[in-house]
Amino acid sequence: MDLYKITGPNGECLNGGSGSWDLPTATEPGAWWRVAGDIVACHNGLHLASREQLDRWLPQRDGTPYVIHRAETDGDILNNGDKYVVSAARLLPRRVPAPDLAAEQARFNDARNRAMTPANRARKRADRAFARLSPAQGYLAHVQGMTLPEGHPLRAEQDRYATAKATYNAAVRAAADRYDRAVAPAAKRYAAAVAAMIDGA
């Protein structure tokens, strides 16, 4: 079974770990890192991930640079469900050069930030429409969930509330759809770069 380690560019631990891994060269693995004593997840041991577990531990496109390495293990090994814990491991040479994830992260972040501007603008317009409604309207439509009969003094206000609510929901859905379409190409490139890094590790 292939296990992987996510580190910073210089071997530094991420996801709350401490210390740094010895990086492999183009042809030689890094030095062994060994832990004494019984291995216990999140307390004592080296944390690795299978391919299926990797997504749980990848920095979420926040700009944090990282590299995925294949790892060789020795000694005790524990499957903790979302990760593996081992008593000894070392990083193996990459099969192919690592893709530039930082560049794809930057493209994704730029696309996300540009898409957020119109999405937020549409949301704020809907918020302002909602803010013009009185507490009585919100109470009647939201809390009681009742429809007032024709001729009731607050029926017209309740109708205005329902219309504004529908407009608000439509604006939010449209903004979300525009955002998804805007970031989709960058997200796809980023996912492909991550897959290439895993396959090449």
- 17-40 pLDDT, tens per residue? 789 999 999 999 999 999 999 999
- Tens digits of per-residue pLDDT, 88-108? 999 999 988 888 888 888 888
Do 53 and 139 lie in one domain? The reply is no
Q: How many domains does the chain have?
A: 2
Query: Within 10 Å of residue 194's Cβ, how many Cβ atoms?
Result: 20
Do 16 and 82 lie in one domain? The reply is yes
Do 49 and 70 lie in one domain? The reply is yes
Do 118 and 49 lie in one domain? The reply is no
pLDDT band at 143 (very low <50, low <70, confident <90, very high): very low
Helix 101-131 with 155-200: angle, nearest 10 deg: 180
Question: How would you classify the pairing of strands 3-7 and 46-48?
Answer: unpaired
Please compute the mean of the pLDDT values over residues 134-147 and round it to a whole number: 57
The model's pTM:
0.69
Q: At residue 134, does pLDDT exceed 80?
A: no
Do 129 and 192 lie in one domain? The reply is yes
Percent of the chain whose predicted confidence (pLDDT) is above 70 = 88
- Per the structure, the complete domain to which residue 137 belongs is given by 102-200
Do 58 and 128 lie in one domain? The reply is no
Do 82 and 115 lie in one domain? The reply is no
Do 186 and 111 lie in one domain? The reply is yes
Query: Within 10 Å of residue 159's Cβ, how many Cβ atoms?
Result: 14
Please compute the mean of the pLDDT values over residues 53-71 and round it to a whole number: 85
Do 117 and 178 lie in one domain? The reply is yes
